[in-house]
Structure 1
Amino acid sequence: MSPLQPHQPQTTHRAYRADWQIIRDLLPYLLAYKWRVGIALLCMVAGKFANLGVPVVLKNLINSLDINTVGAAALAVPTGLILGYGLLRLSTSLFNELREALFARVTQHAVRQIALNVFQHLHTLSLRFHLARQTGGVSRDIERGTRAIQTLVSFSLYSIFPTLIEFLLVLGYFAYFYDIWYSLITLGALTLYMVYTIVVTEWRTALRRRMNELDTRANQKAIDSLLNFETVKYFGNEAFESRRYDENLQHYQKAAIVSQKSLAALNLGQQVIISIGLVLIIWRAASGVAAGEMSLGDLVLINTLMIQLYMPLNFLGVVYRELKQSTADIDRMFSIMDQNREIQDAPDARTLQILDPRVGPAVHFDHVRFGYEPNRIILHDLSFTIPAGTTTAIVGRSGAGKSTLSRLLFRFYDVQSGRITLDGQDVRDVTQASLRQAIGIVPQDTVLFNDTIAYNIRYGRPDASDEEIMQAARAAQMDAFIEQLPEGLATQVGERGLKLSGGEKQRLAIARTLLKRPGLLIFDEATSALDTRTERALQREIWQLARNRTTLIIAHRLSTITHADQILVMDHGRIAEQGTHAQLLAAGGVYASMWDMQKREVPAPDLSEPLA
Structure 2
Amino acid sequence: MMKLFQHLKPYRWLVAAVLVLVFFQTLTELYLPTLMSDIVDTGVVMGDTEYIWKVGGVMLLVALGGMICSVGSSLFSAKAASGFGRTLRGKVFGHVSNFSLEEFDKVGTASLITRTTNDITQVQQVLIMMLRMMIMAPMMCIGGIIMAVSKDATLSLTLIVIMPVLALAIFLIARKGLPLFKAIQKKIDRLNLVLREELTGIRVIRAFNRMGHEQKRFDQANQDLTDTAIRVNKIMALMMPLMMLVMNVSSIAIIWFGGLRIDSGHMAVGDLMAFLQYAMQILFSLIMVSMMFVMIPRAQASAVRIREVLDMEPVIKDAASRASAGALKGYVEFDDVTFSYPGAEQPAIQNISFSAKPGEVTAIIGGTGSGKSTLISLIPRFYDAGSGRVMVDGVDVRELSQEELRSKIGFVPQKAVLFTGTIAENIRYGKEDASDEEIRHAAEVAQASEFITEMEQGYESIIAQGGSNVSGGQKQRLSIARALVRGAEVYIFDDSFSALDFKTDAKLRAALKNETRESTVIIVAQRVSTVLDADRIIVLNESRVAGIGTHAELMESCEVYREIVYSQLSEEEIA
Work out whether 1:209 is the aligned partner of 2:182: yes
Name the structure 2 match of 1:336: 309
Distance apart, 1:386 and its partner CA? 2.1
Work out whether 1:292 is the aligned partner of 2:265: yes
Distance apart, 1:270 and its partner CA? 2.8
Name the structure 2 match of 1:522: 492
Name the structure 1 match of 2:353: 383
Matched residue SS, 1:421: strand
Distance apart, 1:49 and its partner CA? 0.9
Map 1:493-572 onto structure 2 (within 5 A).
493-572=463-542
Work out whether 1:277 is the aligned partner of 2:250: yes
CA deviation digits over 1:458-512, x for unaligned, max 9?
2212343444333322332222211222233343333322221111010010111
Distance apart, 1:344 and its partner CA? 2.7
Query: Which residue of 94, 97, 102 maps to 1:123?
Result: 97
Name the structure 2 match of 1:219: 192
Name the structure 2 match of 1:442: 412
Name the structure 2 match of 1:573: 543
Contact kept in structure 2, 1:393 and 1:561, CA below 8 Å: yes
Query: Which residue of 378, 382, 392 maps to 1:408?
Result: 378
CA distance in 2, matches of 1:601, 1:55: 102
Query: Which residue of 317, 323, 337 maps to 1:368?
Result: 337
CA distance in 2, matches of 1:216, 1:206: 16
Work out whether 1:41 is the aligned partner of 2:19: yes
Name the structure 1 match of 2:147: 173
Contact kept in structure 1, 2:360 and 2:521, CA below 8 Å: yes
**TM-score normalised over the length of structure 2:** 0.90
CA distance in 1, matches of 2:45, 2:524: 100
Work out whether 1:475 is the aligned partner of 2:448: no
Give the letter aligned to residue 507 of structure 2. A
Give the letter aligned to residue 361 of structure 1. G
Residues 351 and 298 (structure 1), Cα distance of their counterparts in 2 relative to 1, 3 Å cut: same
CA distance in 1, matches of 2:209, 2:500: 29
CA distance in 2, matches of 1:404, 1:301: 76
Name the structure 2 match of 1:236: 209
Query: Which residue of 48, 54, 60 maps to 2:38?
Result: 60
Name the structure 2 match of 1:100: 74
Name the structure 2 match of 1:91: 65
Matched residue SS, 1:548: coil
Give the letter aligned to residue 25 of structure 1. K
Work out whether 1:26 is the aligned partner of 2:4: yes
Distance apart, 1:137 and its partner CA? 4.3
CA distance in 1, matches of 2:439, 2:304: 44
CA distance in 1, matches of 2:289, 2:119: 22
CA distance in 2, matches of 1:524, 1:371: 19
Give percent identity, aligned residues only.
Answer: 28
CA deviation digits over 1:521-565, x for unaligned, max 9?
111222221112222221122112221112222233344345544
Give the letter aligned to residue 162 of structure 1. M
CA deviation digits over 1:234-285, x for unaligned, max 9?
2212112222222333333433343233234333433343334333333343
Distance apart, 1:587 and its partner CA? 5.4
Using the TM superposition, name which of 319-328 and 423-432 deviates more.
319-328
Give the letter aligned to residue 199 of structure 2. L
CA distance in 2, matches of 1:329, 1:29: 16
Using the TM superposition, name which of 373-382 and 477-486 deviates more.
373-382
CA distance in 2, matches of 1:182, 1:227: 67
Name the structure 1 match of 2:88: 114
CA deviation digits over 1:389-440, x for unaligned, max 9?
5432223333332221211112222222111122232222222232222222
Contact kept in structure 2, 1:48 and 1:162, CA below 8 Å: yes
Contact kept in structure 2, 1:523 and 1:553, CA below 8 Å: yes
Residues 528 and 308 (structure 1), Cα distance of their counterparts in 2 relative to 1, 3 Å cut: same
CA deviation digits over 1:186-238, x for unaligned, max 9?
35533442343133212211122233333432332232122211221222121
What is the CA RMSD across the aligned residues, in angstroms? 2.9
Contact kept in structure 2, 1:364 and 1:384, CA below 8 Å: yes
Matched residue SS, 1:414: coil
Contact kept in structure 2, 1:393 and 1:555, CA below 8 Å: yes
Name the structure 2 match of 1:12: none
Matched residue SS, 1:409: coil
Residues 30 and 188 (structure 1), Cα distance of their counterparts in 2 relative to 1, 3 Å cut: farther
Give the letter aligned to residue 186 of structure 1. L
Give the letter aligned to residue 465 of structure 2. E
Contact kept in structure 1, 2:141 and 2:286, CA below 8 Å: no
CA distance in 1, matches of 2:326, 2:282: 75
Runs of 4 or more consecutive aligned structure 1 residues displaced over 6 Å after TM superposition: none
CA deviation digits over 1:350-382, x for unaligned, max 9?
12534689x633222111112224521232222
Using the TM superposition, name which of 359-368 and 265-274 deviates more.
265-274
Give the letter aligned to residue 299 of structure 1. L
Give the letter aligned to residue 194 of structure 2. K
Matched residue SS, 1:530: coil
Give the letter aligned to residue 104 of structure 1. A
